[in-house]
Each structure stands twice: as structure tokens, then as C-alpha cells.
Amino acid sequence: MLNIPTLWMVFVINYLALGLIWAYVARSYPKFHAARFWAGSSFVGAAGAAVATLHFHFTLMLLPLWAGGTILIFAACLATLGIKRFYGQPVRWRGSALITGSSAAAVAFFIYGYDSTAMRIFVYSLGEMLPFALSLKLLLWSRDGRNSPGARLAGIVTIVIIALYGFRAVGYVAHLGGDFTTANPNPLQSLLMLALMFLSMAWNFGLLLMAIDRLRNEVADLALLDDLTGVGNRRHLLQRLSEECARSERNNEPFALLAIDLDGFKGINDTHGHATGDACLQHFTLMAQTRLRPGDLLARSGGDEFCVVLPASSSREGAMIARRILAVCRADAEQCVGVDVPIAASIGVAQWTREMGAVPDRLIAAADQALYEAKKNGRNCYAIHGAPSPPLAPDYEALLEQALRKTA
């Protein structure tokens, strides 16, 4: 049989080590707020285990066990709050205070009011189980459907921890394996403590994998965004075009691409400076995004050039979106006064065809050809690739505009 006081000291060291790891993560990534809760949970757990060890120096006193158990329950609540923070849910302390306070009060009653070791074990086990149970749904069934392998690992370990605490609570009442108290340790008690120690490490390892996966996803997302405007960059554009080309080839459903170039942008940089040019790029992206639909992708392909990917859209619908973008730019230009710089754009519209296949460059080239036609036609307008499309009937144009407004 292992020495129980020694196991409690190992618990203290284990919690301190985990706390140092999470404190380092929290310091290295200040915006990763969940790490602060997990660091706090580990340090509080170390304090609770240290207080509980005082019971072995004052064997006639149950106060250290009561205080240490209460602190350990609060540590479990802190870990659950960290999981909520990780998944972007509001952190409310009321539930943690209720679990910790009610557990402490109930254990105190079964110490000083009605002495019952069985009920003390049951209440303490329930107090440890509840926070873990509350976090189980988030770990195994995230709302965004992007649970990482670390979340699944932490969820599985959570189930095992809940099962062990449940077995301990029920086992003492049913006298399975003898007395489960620290005052009368036995081999099964030692085995349970070793299992909980191992599971706490595995649980925190799962949380660490969750953190690594989240940080990796954030880096991957940043790699697809343009630093200046915050819209997609060329890499994101090509990735999305490849996906749409493959989808259209499978379903034989067209989609459209807009190639946009800001008119006279070099003159803006030469006359007003690059800072003003950057501000114009940012302002244009804001205006253009107000005229796009959910699912449309605006990307900066380079310099003053942009592209808009329009899924499940024909060249006619692409032309309508182009007109909407030109209209908002013209309306904004009319309101410019003083040192304000008006923004104008030329737009080329192209529709994917089966002849283009799954090669995004062919669609980009078609949109660029239409853009050059718009430039030839006097700029501040749009052109459609290929044979000129017949003009839209007024009733069709009105219906299409109404549909676009509903989806915007």
C-alpha cells in the first residue's frame, strides 16, 4: 500500500508544475484568457492539497480536510470557467460560488452538526463531479463543430474522473473495497488517488492540446488575411477559387468573379502620399463589403486590385453586384469636400464555364480581360467578359435587386 501523505504531497507538486506551465502560457499569450483560469485552478488546487496534508499532522482535526476539500472544489470550478472562456461563453462566478459554498456548508454540517463520514464523502465527491459535468458538453459537443483532438481527450478524461468520484461516493456507502477515507487508507484508496493524479495530468494535457490547436488556427486565419484591409489576401482568393471551381465542375453550377481596380490610384499616392492611399484602400473595402451578400468573398489580390468571388451566381448577377459597388463609390465621391479623396473603380465580370475546368487562373484571366474593357470604355464602369450580355429587363432587374437586398 502506498503512503497516503506522500501521495498528497505529490498532488501538491503536480498542481504546482501544471500551474507554472499555464502561467507561462498566459504570459506568452496575453489574449489567451482561458490560460489564466487554468493557471489559477492549478495553483488553487496545490494550495488545497497542501492544506489537506495538515490533517496527517493533526489527526484529531477534520478542519484541514474540510478546508482543503473546499479549496479543491473551487479549483475544479475555476477549471470549468476556463473552458467556458475558451469557447467564448460568459464567465459567471455565481454558479462556482454556489457549488463551492453549498458543498462546504454541507460537509461542515456532517462534521459538526450530524457526524457522518459517508455523507461527507458523498458531498465532497458530488462537489468535485459537478464542475466537470458542467464542462462535458462543451468539450464533446462544441457549438461551432470544431472540437480539437485535445477537447475530445479532455472530454473522455472528464467522463472517467466523474465515474471515479461517483464510484468513491457510492462505494463508501455500499462498503465496496472497505473504508475510502484518508484516516483509514487502503490499497483501493491509494489506487484511486494515483488514478486521479494521472487523470488530472491527462486532462490538463488535453487542455494544452486545445490551446495549441486554437493558436494554430488563429495563425492559419491570419495567413489568409490582408494586413492592411483585413479582407482575404491572394492566397485566400486562390484557395476559394479552387474550391468553387471544383464544386462547379461537380454540380455544373456556375459562379462569378469580379476583378476590381481603383481608377487613378497611382495619382492618389503621388499627390497625397501613401498614407492617404492606404486609407483609400481601407475605405473602399468597407464600402464594397456593404454591397456584398453573405457567402461572397472580397479579397485584395495586390496593390489597388481586388476580386470578389460570387458563389452560385451568373454573370448577370455579377453585373448587378458590380453596379451596386460602383453606385456606393459614386455616392461617396459626391459627398467628398475639401481634402477628401474620391474613389472610383473599374470592374470586370466573368462567369465560370465548364471549359475553364478546375483552373482558377483561367477565370481570373477572363475577369482581367473584362476589366481592361471597362478601362477602355472610360473607367468608373464595368464590363462583362465575352459577348455582350443583353440588357436586363426593368422588371427582372428590379426583382434581382430585391433578392440581393434580402440576402445582404
- Assess whether pLDDT exceeds 90 at residue 337: no
Mean pLDDT within 201-215:
90
The grid cell for 320 is 448587378
User: Helix, strand, coil proportions of the chain in percent (round to 5)?
Assistant: 65, 10, 25
Mean pLDDT across the stretch 252-262? 93
Which residues are CB-contacts of 375 (< 8 A; sequence separation ≥ 6)? 261, 346
Q: Cα separations (Å) of 322 from 264, 338, 347, 380, 408?
A: 18, 28, 7, 11, 14
Q: Is the pLDDT of residue 407 over 60?
A: no
Tens digits of residue pLDDT in 8-49: 888 899 999 999 999 999 999 898 999 999 999 999 999 999
Q: What is the mean pLDDT of residues 369-392?
A: 80
Mean pLDDT, the chain, whole residue set? 86
CA proximity to 196, closest of 103, 128, 106: 128
Please report, rounded to a whole number, the percentage of residues in the chain having pLDDT higher than 70: 88
Residue tagged 477572363 (cell numbers) = 366
CA–CA–CA angle 104, 107, 109 (5° rounding): 110
From the list 239, 60, 213, 206, the residue with the least C-alpha distance to 135 is 206
C-alpha span between 209 and 40 (Å, rounded): 18
User: pLDDT higher for 59 or 166?
Assistant: 166
Predicted confidence at residue 196, as pLDDT, reads 86
Does this model's pTM top 0.85? My answer is no
Structural element, H or E, at residue 2: none
Q: Which residues does residue 347 pair with via DSSP β-bridges, in sequence order?
A: 260, 382
pLDDT at 115: 85
Better-scored residue on pLDDT, 93 or 182:
93
For the segment 393-404, what is each residue's pLDDT rounded down to a tens digit?
344 344 444 544
Identify the pLDDT of residue 147: 61
Q: Which one from 278, 304, 340, 361 is the annotated catalytic residue?
A: 304
Residue 236 grid cell: 485566400
pLDDT at residue 351, rounded to an integer = 95
One-letter amino acid for residue 338 of the chain: G
Confidence of residue 262 (pLDDT cuts 50, 70, 90): very high
**How far is the C-alpha of 135 from the C-alpha of 206, rounded, in Å?**
13
CB 400 within 8 A of CB 392: yes
Distance from C-alpha of 3 to C-alpha of 27, rounded to nearest angstrom: 36
Higher per-residue pLDDT: 146 or 222? 222
Buried-state track 235-246, b at ≥16 Cβ within 10 A, e below 16: ebbbbbbeebbe
CA-wise closest residue to 349 among 363, 329, 328, 330: 363
- In tens, the pLDDT along 219-228 reads 877 788 998 9
144 or 376, which is more confident?
376
Nearest CA-CA partner of 259 in 187, 191, 341, 321:
321
Rounded to whole angstroms, how far apart are CA atoms 22 and 210?
13
| Whether residue 186 has pLDDT greater than 80 | no
- Kindly list the structural domains of the chain, giving each domain's residue range(s) and its CATH number in brackets, ordered by start: 4-222 (1.20.1070.10), 234-407 (3.30.70.270)
What percentage of the chain reaches a pLDDT higher than 90?
Answer: 56
Sheet containing strand 345-351, edge to edge, reads 297-302, 305-310, 256-262, 345-351, 382-384
> Average pLDDT, stretch 247-265?
92
| Short-list 154, 258, 259, CA closest to 202 | 154
Q: Under DSSP, is residue 377 helix (H, G, I), strand (E, B) or coil?
A: coil
304 part of the active site: yes
Q: Residue 178: what pLDDT?
A: 54
Residues 401 and 370: their CA atoms lie apart, in Å, by 22
Stretch 360-379: mean pLDDT, rounded? Answer: 93
